[in-house]
Structure 1
Amino acid sequence: MRFDFFRTTGASAAKDKAVPGAPAQTREEPSDELGGPREASGYVRHALQLDPQQRVKGYRMAWLATPGTAPVPDASSQFIALLDNIARHLNPPRTGWRLGRLVLFLDVTVDGLFLAELQSLPPENVVLCMGLGDLSDVDTRSMLLFLREQGFGFMLKDADGLPADPELREIITHLDVGDGDPERVARVRAEEQPGRAPVQLVASRIDTWAQAGACADLRVDIFVDGALAHPPVKEGGDALQPESVMIVRLMHMIQRNENVRSIESALKRDAALTYRLLRHINSPAIGAGVEIHSLRHAVAMLGYAPLFRWLSVLLATSNRAAAPFMTKKAITRGRFVELMGQGMLPPGEADNLFVVGMFSLIDQLLGVPMAEVLAKVQLAGSVQQAILAREGVYAPFLALAEACETDAAQAARLSEALFVGSGQVNAAHLAAMVWSQEADAHDGAV
């Protein structure tokens, strides 16, 4: 049973220590709407946790105060703001945890350990990142043991190796190995004791994909954020793979509003593609309410425009040589761009916004130059203008999505230009992460 060491109200924590074992305060239900009532002045940032196959295992979350904010919020205030956004959008009371088996890594101070907002998160999906000094604090040892017993993981950061304290070793589940130096990795693994679960190693300071490859060889996970350039791809000139060619053909048929029977006939030539398309359409991200069993049923329920969207998702996943995390990144960006445009552009623009965001990375996914891809798919002129030149009505939303991946200061400036607050941006950011996970729920390729 959990108990709260501090009573809290909303996003602010009163530092009134509660008696251990006393009933916890009922959790306030936050708003799920974009730009909810408890908007904080700052931006959510995330880095991807990638396994050696470059699949997404989790996210390392951070809070960056809005540039120019005075006074600058202290670490506790920023952590509370981050937890509030996570609770509101990733773990709302009505639905619970929305990222499946993915794990969140949170940098936490000693004070943060005692927050009820933290204890409301599913422990098996949270790893708390702390330095050796904080972890060794004898006054917090009982709380560390309590949280570990509940299922929270702990990552030791900024340390050369595992601590000598055996009780502390029992708490630590992950170790930050910096740049993944092979000697350091070997030394840590040599320190592990037989019969105990091995500590998971994660390299947090990856500056090149050569380093990432070396970590993969050592079976070490990595954290990658938007500041790292996209991984190199094998260029295929203008040659799309056979499945990609079929998907492009279907997209052309939908653009020409061809009869659904003709589209269905073409799709039936590839049973595996039909299966994947229907699995995507039946994913929680669509929320159609009924299971769709055929293309004709999908068109009747959803129309042609959403079908074009899902074919574009399949196109993004059609190159098996592409890094899996790039597919998730493209789909997340597409959804983010779409959500930011909602309410600012006509409802009919939603699918174009999604395609702009996702296709902005399509050359990375297919290994084909952008101009060649767009020449084959023949998207609307306004969509191509945003992707190729970052101009036109969709461009500001794409620019904001890219800034949120790399530069909080730029994100703040672009948000201001669009007359949207950080709360709305954060809501779109986290909702897009959820949507990409739900889209992935029925297809392991994403």
Structure 2
Amino acid sequence: MNEASILGQVALGYAPMIDRQRDVTATRLTVFPARADAKVPPAPLLEALAEAWPADAGALALNVASETLLHDLMLAQPAANVMVEVPAFMAVDPAHTEAIVALHRHGNTLMLQGRPRAELPREVLPCFSAAIVDVAEERRTDATPPPGVTRSIGFVQSGIRSAAEVEAAFQRGAQAVLGWPLDDPLPAADPKAGARSDLQTVVELIRRVDKEEPVDRLDAVIKLDPTLGFKLLRYINSPAFGLRVEIASFRHAIMMLGYQRLKRWLALLLAQASKEANMKPVMFAALRRGLLMEELVRASGNGQSDPQLRDEAFICGVFSLLDKMMRQPFAELLKSIPVPAAVSQALVDSEGPYQPYLELVQAVESASMFDLREIAERLMMSVGEVNAALLRALANARTLG
């Protein structure tokens, strides 16, 4: 069974696991069988995931929304970098004890999902390194356990909907949260905080590139900011760019990129310029949104032979969270930052050719099976094509750091 075939039998959702330093410690994939009655073979699914997420790529957490498929995946013994979430109802069921213990012995990290309604079998209890607890079911009020209560494992908070809930979870002692609240209302901008010089330089470069000014003028602007020049050279020499020769000068880098790809790089740089700790997960999400939108446009056929469409989709995805980072509504923000008309349509007016792709990305982020299917059908894409695009985007994101 090939990769395309197995990816057509499931639907995938994506979320990061983020620790109290706001660093991403693992990538979580939620796996739904495409049909409730389908028997999904575990081995080819694990092979497809391993190809996109090899052992040296860090931790991959699997949240499998099927008791049968999860049991089969545990028996198939995934690679040691794969963390497996086990629902509490399965953990207390003796029918799954042998598979849980065997997977623990294999070296995989296991996480208990939810609160068990009965006592866990004695053999199973030591197998779990942490519990995943939804904020709606949280009974802790702080990090200190009640008198006489010993907590043997840490917990990861899921169901987070706001920055305040993030802070409360870490106050209660959470070692990480699942996902990050991207729909919080815009925080008030500090009128005393002017734009940082590096942000001004990037915005100025975007304006000049939009006008397609000569390379000499662009080179002169970049030379005024050594950090910016370093980041440009690091980007163009990264594996994601695929060049066979090393680029050592700003002029050569600009000539190799061209105006369209330089816009793409500057969009990424602008979206990663914040120094605020709480913006780190937002910047992480912005890069993946851009890469996923690019891959979705490519997979849909619209961008197969048109790199400009793919680059615009990338910029749209990366900029889709820029209002959070810059603390300005898009209608104001895009007055100073030139973007393609179709990108502005999606971000300001929630319409236009890129809007359905942005909605599809959001459905993947929220692991909304119904929305994912409905939007994919609207775009005349299969769920398998969406899954393949997601895995390619996550793999590409790793090469860009």
TM-score w.r.t. the length of structure 2 is 0.84
- Tell me, in whole angstroms, the C-alpha distance in 2 between the residues paired with 1:106 and 1:148: 16
Matched, 1:423 2:381: no
CA contact (8 A) 1:390 1:399 kept: no
- Tell me, in whole angstroms, the C-alpha distance in 2 between the residues paired with 1:337 and 1:98: 26
Decide which of 11, 17, 20 is 1:52's aligned counterpart.
Answer: 20
User: What residue in structure 1 maps to residue 219 of structure 2?
Assistant: 264
Residues paired across the two proteins, number? 389
- Tell me, in whole angstroms, the C-alpha distance in 2 between the residues paired with 1:263 and 1:122: 47
| Paired residues for 1:103-182 under 5 Å | 103-107=60-64, 109=67, 112-115=70-73, 118-119=76-77, 121-131=78-88, 133-138=89-94, 140-159=96-115, 167-179=123-135, 180-182=138-140
Unaligned 5+ residue runs, structure 1? 1-9, 11-29, 194-198, 441-446
Deviation at 1:173, TM superposition (A): 0.8
Relative distance call for 1:433 and 1:140 in structure 2 (3 A) is same
- Tell me, in whole angstroms, the C-alpha distance in 2 between the residues paired with 1:162 and 1:315: 50
CA contact (8 A) 2:143 2:171 kept: no
Matched, 1:384 2:338: no
| Paired residues for 1:397-408 under 5 Å | 397-406=357-366, 407-408=368-369
- Tell me, in whole angstroms, the C-alpha distance in 2 between the residues paired with 1:150 and 1:436: 29
Relative distance call for 1:436 and 1:231 in structure 2 (3 A) is farther
Q: Which region of structure 1 is more displaced relative to structure 2, 367-376 or 139-148?
A: 139-148
Matched, 1:251 2:219: no
Unaligned 5+ residue runs, structure 2? none
Q: What SS is found at the alignment partner of 1:336?
A: helix
CA contact (8 A) 1:318 1:366 kept: no
Paired letter, 2:314: F
- Tell me, in whole angstroms, the C-alpha distance in 2 between the residues paired with 1:162 and 1:175: 15
User: What residue in structure 1 maps to residue 183 of structure 2?
Assistant: 229
TM-score w.r.t. the length of structure 1 is 0.76
User: What residue in structure 2 maps to residue 204 of structure 1?
Assistant: 158
CA contact (8 A) 1:48 1:60 kept: yes
- Tell me, in whole angstroms, the C-alpha distance in 2 between the residues paired with 1:400 and 1:112: 26
User: What residue in structure 2 maps to residue 91 of structure 1?
Assistant: 50
Cα deviation 1:221-248 (Å, max 9, x = unaligned)? 111377x734754524695332211111
- Tell me, in whole angstroms, the C-alpha distance in 1 between the residues paired with 2:222 and 2:360: 36
CA RMSD of aligned residues (A): 3.2
User: What residue in structure 2 maps to residue 6 of structure 1?
Assistant: none
- Tell me, in whole angstroms, the C-alpha distance in 2 between the residues paired with 1:158 and 1:43: 22
Cα deviation 1:197-228 (Å, max 9, x = unaligned)? xx3320123343322111123441111377x7
User: What residue in structure 2 maps to residue 373 of structure 1?
Assistant: 333
CA contact (8 A) 2:206 2:338 kept: no
Deviation at 1:403, TM superposition (A): 3.1
- Tell me, in whole angstroms, the C-alpha distance in 1 between the residues paired with 2:45 and 2:372: 17
Deviation at 1:41, TM superposition (A): 4.8
Relative distance call for 1:256 and 1:208 in structure 2 (3 A) is closer
CA contact (8 A) 1:127 1:154 kept: yes
User: What residue in structure 2 maps to residue 305 of structure 1?
Assistant: 260
Which structure features the higher share of helix residues? 2
Q: Which region of structure 1 is more displaced relative to structure 2, 350-359 or 139-148?
A: 139-148
